[in-house]
Amino acid sequence: MRAVSSRSRTGLVGAVIAVSLAAGAVGCTDGESADAAPDSSTGPTELCGGNAISAEAGKALKVITGASRFEGSGPGGTVAFAAKWLSEGYDSPAPNDGNICHIYAKNSAAGDRLEATWELVWGPLKGEPAAKFRVLPMGERALAAPDAGSIWFACRSEKLPGSTPAHIDIDVERWSPKEPGGDPEKLTDAYATVVHSFALAMAKELRCENDGGLEPRPVLDPA
């Protein structure tokens, strides 16, 4: 079940690298198996184009997933590509939301992934967040829970024409066949850290004035 919203996501879906072993790779003379396929996994700071996950967010990903190695994101699953999609679709009939990157921990269960997504938000913030969310003073509104994080920020940029700033929502959510395990407070801090890293990377890529009002590091204490 999605934690932040039920809207459909369009745009680029991050690629998953699958490694297959050719049949007949086991030797029959000495009973030893052939050399294993090379490790195609990557560290967290190399994910999603290499500028989306800070060192701090990389540690937070380990809290969330229990892993320190991940499947490669693919050439399209990057902040740069998502920012290009957002800016080209701004003020046009093009879709106003999409994917940034999908993150798969190495050797994770089928379908278990984190999704980082963006959405252009029109109009003021409405409604109260669900009780599970901690409200944090980042951007226009930031929410974090043990299975999701969200940051809305305002962006005034030459890449987004108009007299008023664009309002952008960055979400990080987990899709998993299992309920999240671990300390809820630590998980909430971890999601806040990861979504801040994505939001700041997007703000920098879009060249938002004052980085969209986002601080260089996440703010984890409640508003």
Q: Residues 13-54: pLDDT tens digits?
A: 333 333 332 333 333 334 444 455 555 688 999 999 888 999
The rounded distance, in Å, linking the Cα atoms of 165 and 208 is 9
Q: Over 50: is that where the pLDDT of 6 sits?
A: no
Give the pLDDT confidence score for residue 221 in this predicted structure.
Answer: 92
Give the pLDDT confidence score for residue 158 in this predicted structure.
Answer: 92
Please enumerate in sequence order all residues whose Cβ is within 8 A of that of 198, keeping only pairs 6 or more positions apart, or say none.
48, 52, 79, 100, 101, 116, 170, 172
Q: Residues 151-176: pLDDT tens digits?
A: 999 999 999 887 789 999 999 999 88
Residue 38 buriedness (CB in 10 A; 0-12 / 13-18 / 19+): exposed
Record the pTM: 0.80
Give the pLDDT confidence score for residue 94 in this predicted structure.
Answer: 60
Q: Residues 78-119: pLDDT tens digits?
A: 999 999 989 887 777 666 889 999 999 888 777 788 999 999
Give the pLDDT confidence score for residue 19 in this predicted structure.
Answer: 30
